[in-house]
């Protein structure tokens, strides 16, 4: 099954969401809010999404279906629908623009933080549930933790709410991602309450690209179950589970690219490209010729190899970027030291 995936990293993130209407206009499911928090001190990053599953009060009375008019039936239908939307063992991610490239342009964090507007119809709603999903990259514990919690309930409580997440990893930005962790939680009756949640952690074995899928299904009496499914990623982490640093050049309006592979091997010192001693002057001349004079204090910047020479990078201009020295030495270099 081909997934719609929106790439995101740190200081990056991206999200792809789809709203799935499973009955009539009286019922809906959607993502209404996204946010991200990054701890500069620890390097930990947490990504949250809020999902709404909602059923119209009048629609329930007018459009009830025989298969959905008992609690046992709606739970059975919700389970079947949830299972039908569970992710595959493997998924494919392919960006044609970067298919043959050594580096890729991961979409920025700022795009992920944009939230979608939603009219407040809760006062007229027969049933309204918010499920907040969480994805946490913990550089302290070297784990990726995903989960969900019920953050809001309004009106009629559903008889069943099923939510789950699947974590995929790959050595490459493009290609096959394999399932490395999965968890499902079913809530019924009084278990459906604000604060009810689940979490699942995965120990990162090495530098990896990750994608996470979330599925949430809710069922009310008299209404076909509603399902919302979202995919988020790819994210690139090092072996400490720290997200690849994001840097935005406000002059040429470009972000620092990321390596397309998470499994590059160290090139023996006697076989790797040597650093060009004149690289600073060559790069400055090239950059100004390409983008114009940024009018910066060049002495405050370092010239960074996007693919380090240690991993087979070269002194080619398209493999170079100038970074503020403090950012380069405190963020980028430590990330690569744990690659």
234-247 confidence digits (pLDDT tens): 999 999 999 999 99
The answer on 127 and 64 residing in a single domain is yes
User: In total, how many domains does the chain have?
Assistant: 2
The answer on 334 and 190 residing in a single domain is no
DSSP secondary structure letters along 219-278: E-TTS--EEEEEEEEEEEE-TT-PBPP--EETTTTEEPPEESBS-PPPPPTTTSPPPPTT
Q: Is residue 2 in some structural domain? A: no
The answer on 77 and 115 residing in a single domain is yes
Measured CA to CA, the distance from residue 118 to residue 193 in angstroms comes to 23
The answer on 279 and 197 residing in a single domain is no
Q: Is residue 1 in some structural domain? A: no
The answer on 216 and 97 residing in a single domain is yes
Q: pLDDT tens-digit profile of 34-63?
A: 788 888 778 788 888 777 767 665 434 333
The answer on 211 and 281 residing in a single domain is no
The answer on 186 and 141 residing in a single domain is yes
Q: Is residue 194 in some structural domain? A: yes
The answer on 163 and 98 residing in a single domain is yes
Higher pLDDT, 193 or 117: 193
**Least confident range of 29-33, 37-41, 135-139:** 29-33
Q: Is residue 10 in some structural domain? A: no
pLDDT at 129 over 80: yes
* Residues of the domain holding 101: 30-237
Sequence-distant (≥ 6) Cβ neighbours of residue 182 within 8 angstroms = 87, 164, 165, 166, 167, 200
Write out the H or E segment, with its range, that includes residue 290: helix 279-291
The answer on 100 and 61 residing in a single domain is yes
Q: Is residue 170 in some structural domain? A: yes
The answer on 115 and 50 residing in a single domain is yes
Q: Is residue 110 in some structural domain? A: yes
| pTM (2 d.p.) | 0.81
Q: Is residue 3 in some structural domain? A: no
Q: Is residue 4 in some structural domain? A: no
Sequence-distant (≥ 6) Cβ neighbours of residue 155 within 8 angstroms = 57, 122, 125, 126, 127, 128
pLDDT value of residue 21: 28
**Least confident range of 26-30, 292-296, 321-325:** 26-30
The answer on 231 and 99 residing in a single domain is yes
């Amino acid at each position: 099954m081909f997934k719609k995936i929106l790439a995101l990293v740190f200081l990056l993130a991206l999200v792809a969401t789809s709203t799935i209407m499973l009955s009539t206009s009286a019922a809906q499911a959607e993502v209404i809010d996204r946010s991200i928090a990054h701890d500069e001190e620890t390097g930990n990053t947490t990504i949250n999404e809020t999902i709404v599953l909602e059923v119209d009060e009048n629609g329930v009375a007018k459009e009830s279906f025989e298969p959905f008019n008992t609690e046992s039936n709606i739970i059975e239908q919700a389970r079947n629908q949830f299972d039908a939307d569970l992710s595959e063992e493997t998924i494919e991610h392919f960006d044609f623009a970067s298919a043959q490239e050594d580096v890729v342009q991961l979409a920025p964090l700022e795009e992920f933080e944009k939230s979608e507007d939603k009219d407040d119809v809760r006062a007229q709603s027969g049933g309204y549930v918010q499920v907040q999903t969480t994805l946490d990259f913990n550089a302290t514990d070297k784990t990726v933790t995903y989960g969900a919690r019920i953050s809001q309930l309004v009106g009629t409580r559903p008889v069943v709410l099923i939510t789950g997440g699947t974590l995929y990893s790959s050595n490459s930005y493009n290609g096959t991602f394999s399932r490395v962790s999965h968890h499902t939680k079913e809530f019924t009756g009084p278990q459906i309450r604000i604060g009810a949640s689940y979490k699942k952690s995965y120990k990162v074995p090495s530098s990896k690209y990750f994608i996470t899928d979330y599925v949430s299904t809710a069922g009310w009496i008299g209404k076909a179950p509603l399902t919302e499914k979202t995919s988020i990623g790819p994210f690139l982490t090092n072996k400490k589970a720290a997200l690849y640093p994001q840097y935005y050049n406000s002059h040429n309006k470009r972000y620092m690219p990321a390596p397309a592979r998470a499994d590059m091997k160290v090139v023996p010192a006697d076989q790797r490209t040597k650093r060009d001693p004149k690289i600073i002057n060559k790069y400055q001349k090239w950059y100004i010729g390409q983008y114009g004079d940024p009018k910066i204090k060049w002495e405050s910047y370092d010239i960074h190899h996007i693919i380090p020479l240690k991993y087979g990078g070269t002194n080619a201009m398209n493999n170079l970027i100038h970074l503020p020295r403090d950012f380069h030495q405190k963020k980028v270099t430590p990330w690569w030291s744990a690659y």
